[in-house]
Structure formats: C-alpha cells, structure tokens
Amino acid sequence: MIDEYVAVLQNRLEGAPEEESSYDSSWIQYILPFSIETAVPDTVIIKTDAGDILVDLWGDTAPAACSGFLYLARSDFYDGISFHRVIPGFVAQAGCPQGVGTGGPGYNLPNERSVMHFGRGVLGMADAGLSTAGSQFFIMLDDHGRLDGRYTVFGSVLNTEFLDEITVGTIITEIVFTDE
C-alpha cells in the first residue's frame, strides 16, 4: 500500500501542471484524512470570546481549503484555539494548535491560489509556500492588494464591523454550521 502512495505522489510531482491554480485533485484522497466536498455549507459562525464572526465560505473557489476547514471544525480542532497573530490594519490569524504560528493539523493542503482581491473581511489560508497550508487561516482587517495571488482565498466575513475587536488571545470557542 505504501508503494501505491509513493507512486501516486511521484506521478503528481512529475506531472504537476504549470499553472498553480489548476490541479488534479484525485491524488488528494491518498494523503488527506477527508474528502474534498463539492458542496460546502454556505455560511458558518466562528464563535469567539469577543463575539461571533459570520463567514461565507467559497467552496467553488477553493474546495480543498473549505473542505479542510470544515473537517477541522467538525472535529472541534479550532475549539479553544486563539488568534495568535493580530496586526491592526492588516490581518488576524488563528488555527495554530500551539498558539505561536508554527503548528498545523499534520497534513498539507494543495495550492488553490487565485487572483481574488485580499480586501477587508477576506479569509485566506496561511502558508509557508506552495501546498503547505493546513489549519491556519487569516482574516483581512483592511485591503492589501500585495497579497493577491499569493495565498488561497476561501471565504469572506459578512459582519466586518466586528473585525477590529479581534486581539491577540481572542479564543475561538466553537464553529457553528448554519445550514446543516
């Protein structure tokens, strides 16, 4: 069975498409603990100790990122995790189980970078390079076009007036699915 996985990954690397945003997702089933969902809930509520964040998920734009986020949310992975990085006027970042920005879920998501604009309220997957995203996500606190095309966009916050209340240490208490 390991030989099958190695062969799949080798074929993936050798046959990798030149364009970053297009990939054959069939290989993902061998290394991710979840299936890529074709239909994801439209909205979720990220409940925090400072208030609720209503999020519109963009499953058509980033199916792997949305599926990974939902898998972790359903597994209560985010419950009790804090926003470990908040830069006013830039981003609020959460999703590291260690709370310092270096941890993840134990797997990496494929690259789904797009040309979507990183405006206020946009949700992006934090990464350290191509196909290294996992559980960490960030919310844009202002418009920053310099991030366009550099990260995966997978949703947007619908109640942006709350964003400036997020501080380092704001804790995610749970993620609620509004249409399941």
CA–CA dist 9, 17 (Å, integer):
14
State the fold for domain 35-177. Cyclophilin (2.40.100)
The pLDDT of residue 39: 65
| pLDDT tens track for 134-169 | 999 999 999 998 999 999 999 999 999 989 999 999
What pLDDT score was predicted for residue 1?
40
Q: Does the pLDDT at position 113 exceed 60? A: yes
Where are the chain's structural domains? 35-177
Asked if 130 and 162 touch (Cβ cutoff 8 Å), the reply is: no
d(CA 119, CA 177): 24
Q: What is the pLDDT of residues 81-90, one digit of tens each?
A: 999 999 999 9
